[in-house]
Amino acid sequence: MPRDSVLGSVILAVALLGAVVLASAGLGYRIGLWALRTALGILGASVFVAGAAIVLSLIGLARAAMAGSWSAALVALLALLIGGGTASVPLAMRRAAQSVPFIHDITTDLDRPPEFAALRAVPAFSQTPLWVQSERKMAGVALYASLFEPNIVRLDLHQLPASHRQGPILLNVERFLDLPQAVAMAAERSQVILYQDGESGWEFPADVAKQLNWGEKKFQIRKLAKE
């Protein structure tokens, strides 16, 4: 087989691989093969595969032009179109995500607001200090919710992820801050107690509390109780 034919086959195969990776991201999520975060990672991988296909296609077009091979040029052009189309989908999704407000699915449920927000609507409890407890990913949601509610005197957050990379998914928030920074913001308003197996990952709020002389009780990390 001629060398240009082999190169054309490789280029087209890479372009098709990128399209398959792109299609598998949404399909796998819809049928429950993987979580949303995994699907988003696969979308990112498809961009890199498509980028490689585009670079190879341009090389193939240049070689075909020098060799005067129309068939090789058509294969490279087809691969270029497939690669460009594949890359455009996740990139367009990323631009759209960056253009919309921060959101989490819990904020869109107008019929079931967070319990403490519903409690605030009762006149007798409108100014009652609250003590909020939550765990794992929902601890992150409770953490951010506390920044917008007055008179929350204490947050007990069990196994709060150390980063949004482990959840909860809040669009665009990580461009500006991560969960340790949000904990420091909450600790300025409320007593924050984390229940964790270790203290790793929470150096930022600990340093902020120390530098601002908040005292030892303002931000605490307690050992997670064994079940």
Read off the pLDDT band of 1 (50, 70, 90).
very low
Whole-number Å distance between alpha carbons of 92 and 178? 24
Q: Would you say the pTM of this structure is higher than 0.85?
A: no
User: What pLDDT, on the 0 to 100 scale, is given for residue 176?
Assistant: 85
Q: Token pair of 102, please?
A: 């921060």
pLDDT (average), residues 83-110: 73
User: What pLDDT, on the 0 to 100 scale, is given for residue 3?
Assistant: 62
pLDDT (average), residues 60-65: 88
The answer to whether residues 170 and 104 touch, using CB atoms and an 8 Å cutoff, is yes
Secondary structure tally for the chain: helices H, strands E:
7, 4
Whole-number Å distance between alpha carbons of 204 and 184? 7
CA 156 to chain centre: 24
Read off the pLDDT band of 14 (50, 70, 90).
very high
Most confident of 19-23, 112-116, 122-126, 145-149: 19-23
Please report, for the chain, the start and end positions of each structural domain, with discontinuous segments joined by +.
3-99, 106-223
Of 9 and 128, more confident: 9
Of 219 and 94, more confident: 219
pLDDT (average), residues 219-226: 84
Q: Residue 55 above 90 pLDDT?
A: yes
User: What pLDDT, on the 0 to 100 scale, is given for residue 49?
Assistant: 94
pLDDT tens, position by position, 146-168: 888 878 889 999 999 988 878 78
With CA atoms as reference, report the closest residue to 20 among 92, 78, 86: 86
Q: Residue 76 above 80 pLDDT?
A: yes
Please report the sign of the dihedral spanned by the C-alpha atoms of residue 152, residue 120, residue 149, residue 100.
positive
Q: What are φ and ψ of residue 84, in 5° steps?
A: -65, -40
Of 2 and 156, more confident: 156
pLDDT tens, position by position, 190-206: 999 999 988 888 999 99
Q: Name the β-bridge partners of 155.
A: 132, 192
